């Protein structure tokens, strides 16, 4: 049994989607970010930086923090979406999500969605960076069906949830043909639909 400590965020969706994709039984323990539950001592023992998600693999008595590391662990454990042949390319696109796509778009959320009007500099900076990321992903997906090549992998599972917040970005996903094709193809996967709604059964994936 996998226990997932999480919240209803893009980083949380990564792991619920992966668990649905590999068909593992799991239970969710909600971490209320609004009440700062991620900073409770018992959670810090699992996640030193107070971040969700975290999993505990009770079968192996292992806990793993950081969403990228969790995806790698589950990919190795299941033998799915993290094949040896393409692993170097998968790792590069996974790290690109962890180091650029998530942090930069996350800052865009903070300034543009949660705190508009607080900082013109912040809003302009992260809008431009997010728009650039859209273009870079679109360019990649013009030459490749999925981020790491012909196959759907944990790199796509990591990146897609951030694009699922495209309505917050005000950039216009529909203007990016290749990125839109990739987004919609993944959005139609049964496991993605289930994983997206892992904390809200009525949640619907945003259309374009």
User: For 80-117, how does the pLDDT look when each residue is reduced to its tens digit (9 = 90+)?
Assistant: 999 999 999 999 999 999 999 999 999 999 999 999 99
Structure confidence at residue 172 (pLDDT): 97
- Are 94 and 155 in contact by the 8 Å Cβ rule? The answer is yes
**CA separation for the pair 21, 24 (Å, rounded):** 8
Whether 96 and 116 map to the same domain: the answer is: yes
Whether 66 and 21 map to the same domain: the answer is: yes
Asked if the structure places residue 10 within a domain, the reply is: yes
- Give the DSSP letter string of 53-92: -EEEETTTTEEEESHHHHHHHHHHHHT-S--STTHHHHHH
pLDDT band at 9 (very low <50, low <70, confident <90, very high): very high
Whether 76 and 21 map to the same domain: the answer is: yes
More confident site: 200 or 64: 64
pLDDT tens for 109-118 read: 999 999 999 9
Whether 106 and 187 map to the same domain: the answer is: yes
Whether 157 and 113 map to the same domain: the answer is: yes
Asked if the structure places residue 206 within a domain, the reply is: no
The residue out of 32, 63, 80 marking a domain boundary is 80
Contacts of 116 (CB under 8 A, 6+ apart): 123
Domains identified in the chain, total number:
2
Whether 60 and 95 map to the same domain: the answer is: no
**CA separation for the pair 81, 14 (Å, rounded):** 13
Whether 116 and 137 map to the same domain: the answer is: yes
Structure confidence at residue 146 (pLDDT): 98
Q: What CATH number did the domain enclosing 128 receive?
A: 1.20.1050.10
Q: What CATH number did the domain enclosing 30 receive?
A: 3.40.30.10
Asked if the structure places residue 7 within a domain, the reply is: yes
Look at residue 125 and give its three-state secondary structure: helix
Whether 112 and 142 map to the same domain: the answer is: yes
Q: What is the CB neighbour count within 10 angstroms for residue 45?
A: 10
Whether 92 and 168 map to the same domain: the answer is: yes
Average pLDDT of the chain?
Answer: 97
Q: Which domain holds residue 8?
A: 2-80
The residue out of 55, 80, 105 marking a domain boundary is 80
């Amino acid at each position: 049994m996998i226990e997932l400590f999480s919240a209803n965020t893009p980083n949380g969706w990564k792991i619920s989607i992966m668990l649905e994709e590999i068909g593992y039984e799991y239970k969710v323990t909600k971490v209320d970010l609004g009440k700062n539950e991620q900073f409770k001592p018992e959670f810090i023992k699992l996640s030193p930086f107070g971040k969700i998600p975290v999993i505990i693999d009770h079968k192996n008595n292992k806990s793993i923090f950081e969403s990228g590391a969790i995806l790698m662990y589950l990919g190795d454990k299941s033998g799915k979406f993290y094949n040896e042949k393409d692993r170097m390319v998968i790792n590069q696109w996974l790290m690109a999500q962890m180091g650029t796509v998530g942090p930069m778009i996350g800052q865009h959320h903070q300034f543009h969605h949660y705190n508009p009007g607080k900082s013109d500099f912040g809003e302009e900076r992260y809008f431009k960076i997010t728009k650039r990321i859209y273009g870079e992903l679109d360019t990649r997906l013009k030459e490749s069906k999925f981020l790491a090549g012909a196959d759907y992998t944990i790199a796509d599972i990591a990146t897609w949830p951030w694009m699922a917040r495209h309505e917050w970005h005000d950039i216009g996903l529909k203007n990016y043909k290749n990125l839109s094709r990739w987004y919609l193809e993944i959005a139609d996967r049964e496991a993605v639909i289930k994983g997206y709604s892992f904390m809200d059964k009525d949640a619907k994936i945003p259309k374009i």
